[in-house]
Structure 1
Amino acid sequence: MTGVWVLVGVLAVSVVLGFALRAREGRVRTGTALAALPAQVRELIDPGSAVTLVQLSTTFCAPCRHTRVLLADLAERTEGLRHRELDLTDLPEVAAQLKVLRTPTTLALGADGAELLRVGGVPKREVLAEALRPHLPA
């Protein structure tokens, strides 16, 4: 009988964790202050754009492909917005410097390299567009 209670407990904890992780998926957070951007990321910033979306991906990340399409389309349709991608597969030191715990992670960087926003997981298009609006030209 004890085994059944343990199984029920583990199942309950798993369900709660699953809902918690799902709620965080694609959530836009304000940027974190970084001491310095790694050179690999700094090179991707477009100084002629108000915001550069830097997508941090890995080679075998399926959600990264969906994110790439979504961000490229959003950047194409939005003035002052650019999309770039960096593969972190062979760059664990860059992931550590940027405090990236999962892929895809999208950083919205200003022309000066300041992190404006951060999204873990596949972003929700409308939510991201609304969060970026104050940082883009009118």
Structure 2
Amino acid sequence: MTGVWALLGALAVAGAIGVLLKVREGRISRSKDTVDLPAPVRDLLAPGVTLVQLSTTFCAPCRHAKVVLRDLADRTDGLTHAELDVTNLPDVTTKLGVMRTPTTLALTSDGTEVLRVGGVPKRDSLLAALRPHLP
């Protein structure tokens, strides 16, 4: 009987973790502090707002994020999309405080972080959050 309770407890914990991860997917967070951008990121900045997508080689959600971000940038004036593969750049992720891929940083042309999104962004909510920063 103890084994059944242990199994039910493990399933409950796993379910709670799954729900928590699902809720956090694509959530937009505002920048709290200013970071000196690493050179590979700084080199990607363009006039207006640049969506810098940090990806890794074997990241399946990264491909979905790329489609969403590229489409959004193509349809929005003053918005650019750039992707940076950080597979071999752990120093970049450490300096930026990135714990997962894909992570998208919205950066102004002077390198100010406007917001960041962990996971695949939701197009409409991302656009709404970016509106005040676009021309």
TM-score category of the 2 structures, normalised to the smaller one: over 0.9
Report the TM-score when normalising by structure 1.
Answer: 0.95
- Structure 2 equivalent of residue 60 of structure 1: 58
State the shift of 1:34 in Å. Answer: 3.5
Report the TM-score when normalising by structure 2.
Answer: 0.97
Structure 1 residue 7 and structure 2 residue 7: aligned? yes
**Cα RMSD (Å) of the superposition?**
0.8
- Structure 1 equivalent of residue 76 of structure 2: 78
User: Distance between the aligned counterparts of 1:14 and 1:86, measured in 2?
Assistant: 32
- What code does the residue aligned with 2:15 have? V
- What code does the residue aligned with 2:67 have? V
User: Distance between the aligned counterparts of 2:89 and 2:35, measured in 1?
Assistant: 18
- Structure 2 equivalent of residue 91 of structure 1: 89
User: Distance between the aligned counterparts of 1:97 and 1:76, measured in 2?
Assistant: 29
User: Distance between the aligned counterparts of 2:83 and 2:52, measured in 1?
Assistant: 5
- Structure 2 equivalent of residue 20 of structure 1: 20
- Between the aligned residues of both structures, percent identity stands at 63
The unaligned stretches of length 5 or more in structure 2 are: none
The unaligned stretches of length 5 or more in structure 1 are: none
Structure 1 runs (4+) deviating above 6 angstroms are: none
Is residue 35–residue 96 contact of structure 2 (8 Å, CA) maintained in 1? no
